[in-house]
Structure 1
Amino acid sequence: MPDVDSSSLPAGAAAPSGTAFYLTTPIYYVNDAPHIGHAYTTVAADVVTRWHRQRQEDVWFLTGTDEHGQKVLRTAEANGVSPQEWADRLVEAEWKPVLRTIDALNDDFIRTTQERHTTRVQAFISDLHDKGEIYAGSYEGPYCVGCEEYKLPGDLLDGTGEYEGEKVCPIHGKPVEMLAEQNYFFRMSAYAERLLALYEEHPEFVQPASARNEVIGFVKQGLQDLSISRSTFDWGVPIPWDDKHVLYVWFDALLNYMTAVGYGSDDPAEQERFARTWPASVHLVGKDILRFHAVIWPAMLMAAGLPLPTTVFAHGWLLVGGEKMSKSKLTGIAPAQITDHFGSDAFRYYFMRAIAFGGDGSFSWEDISSRYQAELANGFGNLASRVTAMIGKNFGGSLPAAGAATDAEVALEAVAAKAVADAEAAIDRLAIHEAISAVWTLVDATNLYLTEQEPWKVAKLPGETDAEGAGVPGGRLATILVTAAEALRSLAVLLHPVMPQATGKLWDALGAEATLGALGAQPVAGAASFGALPAGTVVTKGASLFPRLEDPTV
């Protein structure tokens, strides 16, 4: 594996980078089943990585589960099983199936109880210990089991109601516990200045800007050395030089981003993968775990002399009734509750478009129902049905040759070109909502184009049909319908990362598979220009992409 001395690099972030676009989700705790807050992050990761694949890039997309720590241990005990049994059950019955529910196309699924992870974690911390970055000490302070984190007094809130007189975690709303332990510590305080230099010299490292400002403010208050072991329970990665301690769950979990792609492996294939993928391009995280990823993680890598990821992007929370999505507060909604009614494409579209990625957003059944009807069924779905039906009716389902383009056709193609350019730029900012909005300008423009060009009236004009009533190739009607079909082809390519099932059906309806190849292999840039579908391509109407639905019962 590469051994890069980060002390010789500007703030540690300018190290040689891998050639792949490598994106990760957080690894999710297995103390409970996934809710739509977890699925939101994973869908965002999937949309971005699918988009990069359609740029013809080498892509690696990692997700997985965090299975150690006190929270998982207590949940397993409460359910009368060992923590390993609990993790195995949840991963196979809940966490892996939800990836299929939301159509995630991940390349790997890491579990922190896998040997490939635990042995490499032990090698990493042994190296830090040998370098003098870890020392023995004692610590006492308030600890939130939900966060798996010691809290500073200023982080806590005064409890109310049943927790009156107690200090509670602001994220979980439950009392913290006072813990006193003999621990091993990581010399994190030594990296405060280098971290501040990193944020200054590489503002892209923490995004969005509000998250970066929060992290800078936190580090400027001063960093303490980090307690990285626990001796009061044994569910964790054993400390190699002291088996009475297990590694702090976050120090264990953060390393998954490297262990999963081959860090520390003797296998040449895994060594090649690590060289190709590391450092990661993007870590997608929820804002509640930002400090772990933007402070602890880069300090760990600096201490090890390894290159840092390019970007840690912290998105906001999904809110239900004004509160963060939470199983413990009974606001957790399983993804299948939505996909069983609306389908996975509508789930993906709604959460990626309705919420500005990077900020908080509220979910409501009324809003998703309204957007499904107006934007998907009436907007995009009806457009596809109208165009394919008119080609079937007027040209027997065979795409005709177009005639000369007018200003209207040139203008619509210009909308497609601008949509591609604007969406590309938005994806690079991880502004997924803006990318979809940019693409949707082509949906609206194509609907308007048909309204203004009135092909149903053009079909009745002299010279537009032959003696049998079939449309004439090269006529005005043919030009309108070919242009509309090209707009649909562009939309299928651009919306495929967001709605893979519906766009796959549209691709089939346009007959594009036979003439242009698989939809997932189409370059994004190719969606900017019309004229790809050859005359004679077989076009079929097919079933509605987004059938009308009854109001959901919830």
Structure 2
Amino acid sequence: MGKGITRFHCVIWPAMLLAAELPPPRAVWAHGYVQWSGAKMSKTAGTAVTLGEAIDRHGADALRYFLLREVGFDNDGDFTWERFDARYTADLADTFGNLVSRSLAMIHRYRAGTVPRAERSIGSRFDSGVRDAVAVYQDWMNANRLADAAGQFIAIAASANRYIEEQAPWKLAKEERQAELDVVLASLTRTVVRLAILAYPFIPGKAEVIWGLVCPGLPLTAKSFEEAVLGVEGRTVGKPPILFPKPRLAPA
């Protein structure tokens, strides 16, 4: 809830519940205000934004991600069209969406859509780094630090994009270093599987699309996490769509 209504929900409402011999809430989470460049949104000033306008611009997932990333429990958040566009482009399109598209496209280009078996990819330096980063994400989520958790799953995607540039799978394919290429492709697919679950609280629609590409037939639940990650080799993956298109936008 917004911080402006905490008096009712933290004082009056619990008192009413106790008077009725009903249990009060164990915790109340109040978030900051969504402002326009540090000031209250105003129709008169032309800075009011409707949900419909924001969703039409980049979709419901993108708006959900932006608000969870930008507005914390201990701070107000700024919304402008420029900030929304920049966060959408940098985080979702250029980092996360780019990783998924590149990874699955290379599985199709080099292995006809089937994830290669590469046991050495499990426990590799890159794989260990991703698992450590996932543990940090879990700590943030357990502490209800949603903005930090959102930034963490994007950071994992960014590290995987760097891994692609460092390993240069196109070069490995050209030089016929097949075993090394298999390790890279399996590692990337495993990372995409992990990220589909990590992204789900923030962009559930897109996360389900990605999950359907890499884990067909498996439910997207926390219980299936390890099964999906460890069983990735030999799985046939779908061809990646454009997850986060970048339309030409005029400033709102």
Same fold by TM-score greater than 0.5:
yes
- 1:2-401 to structure 2, matched below 5 A, reads 285-325=1-41, 331-401=47-117
1:440 aligns with 2:154: yes
The equivalent residue for 1:414 is 128
8 A Cα contact 1:345 1:501, kept in partner: yes
Amino acid at match of 2:59: G
The equivalent residue for 1:544 is 242
- SS of the residue corresponding to residue 85 of structure 2 reads helix
The equivalent residue for 2:183 is 479
Cα distance in 2 for residues equivalent to 1:304 and 1:457: 70
Aligned equivalent of 2:226, options 513, 523, 526: 526
8 A Cα contact 1:415 1:445, kept in partner: no
The verdict on how the C-alpha distance between 1:508 and 1:294 changes in structure 2, with shifts beyond 3 A counting, is: same
Q: State the Cα distance separating 1:442 from its structure 2 match.
A: 1.4
- SS of the residue corresponding to residue 312 of structure 1 reads coil
Aligned equivalent of 2:197, options 486, 490, 493: 493
Q: State the Cα distance separating 1:427 from its structure 2 match.
A: 2.2
Cα distance in 1 for residues equivalent to 2:17 and 2:204: 37
8 A Cα contact 2:32 2:71, kept in partner: no
8 A Cα contact 1:318 1:362, kept in partner: yes
Q: State the Cα distance separating 1:534 from its structure 2 match.
A: 3.5
The verdict on how the C-alpha distance between 1:430 and 1:543 changes in structure 2, with shifts beyond 3 A counting, is: same
Cα distance in 2 for residues equivalent to 1:524 and 1:439: 18
The verdict on how the C-alpha distance between 1:403 and 1:431 changes in structure 2, with shifts beyond 3 A counting, is: closer
Amino acid at match of 2:216: E
The verdict on how the C-alpha distance between 1:403 and 1:532 changes in structure 2, with shifts beyond 3 A counting, is: closer
Q: State the Cα distance separating 1:387 from its structure 2 match.
A: 0.9
- SS of the residue corresponding to residue 53 of structure 2 reads helix
The verdict on how the C-alpha distance between 1:334 and 1:316 changes in structure 2, with shifts beyond 3 A counting, is: same
Amino acid at match of 2:22: L
1:496-552 Cα shifts (integer Å, max 9, x gaps): 121112122212222x123xx122x2438639x9423131x2223231111122124
- SS of the residue corresponding to residue 115 of structure 2 reads coil
Cα distance in 2 for residues equivalent to 1:290 and 1:298: 11
How many aligned positions are there? 252
Q: State the Cα distance separating 1:363 from its structure 2 match.
A: 0.4
- Aligned-residue sequence identity (percent) comes to 34
1:404-454 Cα shifts (integer Å, max 9, x gaps): 248xx6232223323332222222332110111222231111111111111
The verdict on how the C-alpha distance between 1:523 and 1:386 changes in structure 2, with shifts beyond 3 A counting, is: same
Amino acid at match of 1:350: F
Q: Which of 1 and 2 has higher RCO (CA within 8 Å, sep 6+)?
A: 2
Q: State the Cα distance separating 1:349 from its structure 2 match.
A: 1.1
The verdict on how the C-alpha distance between 1:502 and 1:398 changes in structure 2, with shifts beyond 3 A counting, is: same
CA RMSD of aligned residues (A): 2.3
* Structure 1 spans left out of the alignment, 5+ residues: 1-284, 465-474
Q: Which is richer in strand?
A: 1
8 A Cα contact 1:316 1:361, kept in partner: yes
8 A Cα contact 1:420 1:524, kept in partner: no
Length-normalised TM-score, structure 2: 0.90
The equivalent residue for 1:149 is none
Q: Which is richer in helix?
A: 2
